Structure 1
Amino acid sequence: MKKQLFLIIALCAILVGFDQDNKPKVLIIGDSISLGYTPHVKSALKDKANVFHNKGNAQHTGTGIEKLDEWLGDTQWDVIHFNWGLWDLCYRHPDAKTQGNRDKVNGTVTYTPEQYRDNMEALVVRLKQTGAKLIFATTSYVPEGEVGRFVKSDKIYNKMAVEVMKKHGVTINPLNRISKKVYKKHAAGPGNVHYTKEGYRLLSEPVVKYIEKSLGF
Structure 2
Amino acid sequence: MLKTLLITTLILFYSWNLSFQDPPKILIIGDSISIGYTPFVEQKFGDAAMVKHNPGNAQHTGTGLQKIEEWIGEEDWDIIQINWGLWDLCYRHPDSKVYGNRDKVNGTLTYSLEDYESNLHSIVSKIKQISDAKLIFVTTTYVPENEAGRFKKDPKKYNKVAKSVMKKQGVLINDLYKPSITIHKNFGIGDDDVHYTPEGYEQLGSIVYEFLNKEIQ
| Match runs of 1:41-190 below 5 Å | 41-129=41-129, 130-190=131-191
Q: Which runs of 5+ in 2 are unaligned?
A: 1-18
TM-score by length of structure 2 reads: 0.89
Shift of 1:20: 8.7
Deviations 1:128-166 (A, max 9, x none): 231101110000011100110011100000011000000
Mark the CA change 1:163 to 1:111 in structure 2 (over 3 Å): closer, same or farther. Answer: same
| Match runs of 1:8-23 below 5 Å | 22-23=22-23
- Contact 1:23-1:48 at 8 Å conserved across structures: yes
Alignment-mate amino acid for residue 64 of structure 1: G
Mark the CA change 1:132 to 1:108 in structure 2 (over 3 Å): closer, same or farther. Answer: same
- Contact 2:142-2:181 at 8 Å conserved across structures: yes
Distance 1:115 1:20 in 2: 45
Distance 1:192 1:83 in 2: 19
Distance 1:106 1:181 in 2: 30
Which stretch has the larger CA shift, 93-102 or 207-216? 207-216
Tell me the residue number matched to 1:12: none
Shift of 1:21: 7.3
Give me the CA root mean square deviation.
1.4
Aligned partner of residue 173 in structure 2, secondary structure: strand
Alignment-mate amino acid for residue 51 of structure 1: V
Q: Which runs of 5+ in 1 are unaligned?
A: 1-18
- Contact 2:69-2:127 at 8 Å conserved across structures: no
Aligned partner of residue 134 in structure 1, secondary structure: strand
Distance 1:147 1:21 in 2: 48
TM-score by length of structure 1 reads: 0.89
Tell me the residue number matched to 1:211: 212
